[in-house]
Structure 1
Amino acid sequence: MRILLIMDPGIPVPPPAYGGHERLVYMFAEEYAKLGHEVSLLAGPDSAISGKTYAFGQNNLQRSKRQKLKELLFVWKFLYQRKKDFDLIHNFGRLAYLLPILQSPVKKIMTYGRPVAQQGIKKVTSLPNQNLIFTACSNYCVNTGNVAGRWETVYNAIDFSKYQLQEATATDAPLMFLGRLDQIKGLHTAIAVAKATNNTLWIGGNIPDTADNYQYYKETLEPQFDNKQIIYLGALNDEQKNHYLGRSKALLFPIEWDEPFGMVMVEAMACGTPVIAFKRGSVPEVIQENTTGFIVHTKEEMIDAVGKLDQITRKACRTAAQQRFDSPVIAKEYLHLHDQENN
């Protein structure tokens, strides 16, 4: 099968550092290729996959509206001229990219990794179209956009081969927090839980660059970093995440917003590390209670859950998560959607 993946410019595919969605696109491109498909990618400059790559636009997240319009016109021309060259077009970029081929027989998957703007869905589905499927990374996310058209939940994925199972941890193993140090990520709660349970807390993540979150970081978080019990490790790459997550007794995920998926939860599980998380957004879908972690509602419940970690087998934690979120599993789910459309 001939597959085209589309991603917005701004960050190359794969990303050199930050870029969760770009990393997903790269993983799926490689998985499709491993399964024997002819894969092409339409994405920003410096992108590269095992198949063909077509570059467009600028790698600049602050690029102008005029530049984004030029990019839109480029994609429109590309798809209109090349639509018969592909059997499946899998779009992770702007929904508007698909306008010229809505009525084309080519199969189209539009994938979302965040809450969906319903207005765009209503407009597109009101136009004549065929062979168009919308997907999002959780039932929670699907429910934000499921106002028209066909919708399916297909979870995000990680490459489990990059994470090693640690079947046992030291009795004094730290807890861990991994994510942006924004207030909605709830690091202040993780610190309070670590102190209340007399545990060390390892912290990995980027310092915020928005004014309000930077103030939160400087006033609420930084004064508590003592490099003894509350240890800030900085921003971590994949190798470092594997190292620290694998040596942690649990990942704390005390979010204060409705996270669409929460990739760090699966990264922890891939190491065998259970997750204790607040019941927000997709958390109830990602965590299997008593197998891959615990779902809680309050700081006090999170403190109690730390005392239950010995109930979870780390090998079973990884196995359960791998069966649901490994990249080959999710790639096949997308291809199954294409097969369903053909039947």
Structure 2
Amino acid sequence: MHVLIVNNSVIPAIRYGGTERVIWWLGKQLAARGHKVSYLVAAGSSCPFANVLVFDPTQPFNKQVPDDVDIVHLNHGVNETPLKPYIITRHGNMHQQKKLDINTVFVSADHAARFGSNSFVHNGIDPADYGIPVLDNKRTYIHFLGDAAWRVKNVKGAIKIAGMAKLPIHIIGGVRFNFNQGIRLTFTPNAHFHGMLGGEKKNKIINDSKAFLFPVRWHEPFGIAIIESLYFGCPVFATPYGSLPELVNSEVGFLSDNSVELANALKNVDAFNRKRCHEYVLSNFSSTQMCDKYLYYYNEVLNGNTLNVVQPMLQKIQEEKFLKFD
């Protein structure tokens, strides 16, 4: 089949870019299976395994869809309902109770349930982007991975927990002096900041880490950083919000909303099996599994079915700005 994947940003992602990487991995896997893939994305994009068309949000969407496309896979809103069969992946949270499209797919079971849906596809990584991890190396620190300027990601809490566990922490996605959301200075020498990284530099830091510390204070829709870290043999120590309980079981991590409990658990980090963490990702969260399920949903709509019985809608607006973290 000919799949048109639509997003309003540039591919490939060089450093930060969750949705961009997900749609890249999906398209690559579809092409490897013999499907024709086209991207309708922002100017400046390129791709060796698919056609690239430039998305123009000022023009009617359907005029930009090639005639031979079988299914449209939207990853953001467009200015008219596709005339071709389509699905829409909702990648993020929202705080409005408005009806979403009947063919909306979410990125975790929890994410879907919060909108009254059971249609979801877990994101999956392409192992080729990460290489073969070294699982028997000496590791002396832990890491945080995420946009540290985003307060719900709780880098402040991660630094606190690392200090309590007496472990150095390397922060990928943050800087020591942050002016994006008010002036925030981090003086502790226990924290090492690397800014936004991608590719081999990011992979090397993760591959030398004992564990991934992720005490988020919101309902994480999915969290690619979780899967990336596990791939490199890093167990995950995090809060039990959003998708975390369905991604992190007791074999590959520990969940709690209490900093003391997380710090104490980190003291036993070496009890986790790095190989088990790595194999867990390959078995459950690679682009192979992601592609399988999207193909199932593509065929559902091609057969005239909708992906939800009723239009999904956020069931409850979160009243607290930040979820509990002690």
The structure with the largest alpha-carbon Rg is: 1
Residue 91 of structure 2 corresponds to residue 93 of structure 1: no
For the structure 1 residues 186 and 258, does the alpha-carbon distance in structure 2 shift closer, same or farther, using more than 3 Å as the test? same
SS of 1:206 mapped into structure 2: coil
Mark the runs of 5 or more structure 1 residues left unpaired by the alignment: 58-67, 126-132
Equivalent-residue separation in structure 2 for 1:120 and 1:33 (angstroms): 33
1:91, distance to aligned residue in structure 2 (A): 0.9
The code of the aligned residue for 2:62 comes to W
For the structure 1 residues 341 and 33, does the alpha-carbon distance in structure 2 shift closer, same or farther, using more than 3 Å as the test? same
Contact 1:56-1:74 within 8 A present in 2 as well: no
Name the structure 2 match of 1:17. Answer: 15
CA displacement, residues 233-275 of structure 1 (integer Å, 9 cap, x when unaligned)? 2222121221111111111001112221111111100101111
For the structure 1 residues 16 and 209, does the alpha-carbon distance in structure 2 shift closer, same or farther, using more than 3 Å as the test? farther
The code of the aligned residue for 1:20 comes to G
Equivalent-residue separation in structure 2 for 1:111 and 1:208 (angstroms): 34
Aligned residues: 299
1:326, distance to aligned residue in structure 2 (A): 0.8
Equivalent-residue separation in structure 2 for 1:297 and 1:231 (angstroms): 24
Equivalent-residue separation in structure 2 for 1:37 and 1:284 (angstroms): 34
The code of the aligned residue for 2:45 comes to S
For the structure 1 residues 207 and 246, does the alpha-carbon distance in structure 2 shift closer, same or farther, using more than 3 Å as the test? same
Mark the runs of 5 or more structure 2 residues left unpaired by the alignment: 304-326
Contact 1:181-1:206 within 8 A present in 2 as well: yes
The code of the aligned residue for 1:75 comes to F
2:98 aligns with one of 82, 103, 119: 119
SS of 1:249 mapped into structure 2: strand
Equivalent-residue separation in structure 2 for 1:208 and 1:100 (angstroms): 45
Equivalent-residue separation in structure 1 for 2:82 and 2:23 (angstroms): 22
CA displacement, residues 186-206 of structure 1 (integer Å, 9 cap, x when unaligned)? 222222222222211111113
1:144 aligns with one of 106, 114, 118: 114
1:48, distance to aligned residue in structure 2 (A): 2.0
Name the structure 2 match of 1:60. Answer: none
For the structure 1 residues 210 and 241, does the alpha-carbon distance in structure 2 shift closer, same or farther, using more than 3 Å as the test? closer
Equivalent-residue separation in structure 2 for 1:310 and 1:55 (angstroms): 48
1:110, distance to aligned residue in structure 2 (A): 0.8
Equivalent-residue separation in structure 2 for 1:87 and 1:42 (angstroms): 14
Residue 31 of structure 2 corresponds to residue 53 of structure 1: no
Residue 117 of structure 2 corresponds to residue 156 of structure 1: no
What fraction of aligned residue pairs are identical, expressed as a percent? 26
Name the structure 1 match of 2:105. Answer: 135
CA displacement, residues 151-188 of structure 1 (integer Å, 9 cap, x when unaligned)? 51101122122223232342x61011112223322222
Contact 1:180-1:208 within 8 A present in 2 as well: no
Contact 1:169-1:249 within 8 A present in 2 as well: no
For the structure 1 residues 271 and 200, does the alpha-carbon distance in structure 2 shift closer, same or farther, using more than 3 Å as the test? same
Residue 35 of structure 2 corresponds to residue 74 of structure 1: no
Equivalent-residue separation in structure 2 for 1:256 and 1:21 (angstroms): 21
Equivalent-residue separation in structure 1 for 2:243 and 2:259 (angstroms): 19
- Higher RCO (C-alpha 8 Å, min separation 6): 2
Name the structure 2 match of 1:286. Answer: 247
Contact 1:272-1:315 within 8 A present in 2 as well: yes
Higher helix share: 1
1:322, distance to aligned residue in structure 2 (A): 1.7
Q: Which runs of 4+ in 1 moved over 6 A?
A: none
What pairs with 1:133-282 in structure 2 (closer than 5 Å)? 133-146=103-116, 151-163=118-130, 164-170=132-138, 173-182=140-149, 183-207=151-175, 213-215=181-183, 217-218=184-185, 222-224=186-188, 226=189, 229-282=190-243
Name the structure 1 match of 2:258. Answer: 298
CA displacement, residues 48-103 of structure 1 (integer Å, 9 cap, x when unaligned)? 2222211033xxxxxxxxxx5x1xx3313224xx4x52222111121x445142xx
Contact 2:216-2:238 within 8 A present in 1 as well: yes
Contact 1:166-1:314 within 8 A present in 2 as well: no
Q: Which moved more, 1:204-213 or 1:329-338?
A: 204-213
Equivalent-residue separation in structure 2 for 1:23 and 1:145 (angstroms): 24
For the structure 1 residues 288 and 308, does the alpha-carbon distance in structure 2 shift closer, same or farther, using more than 3 Å as the test? same
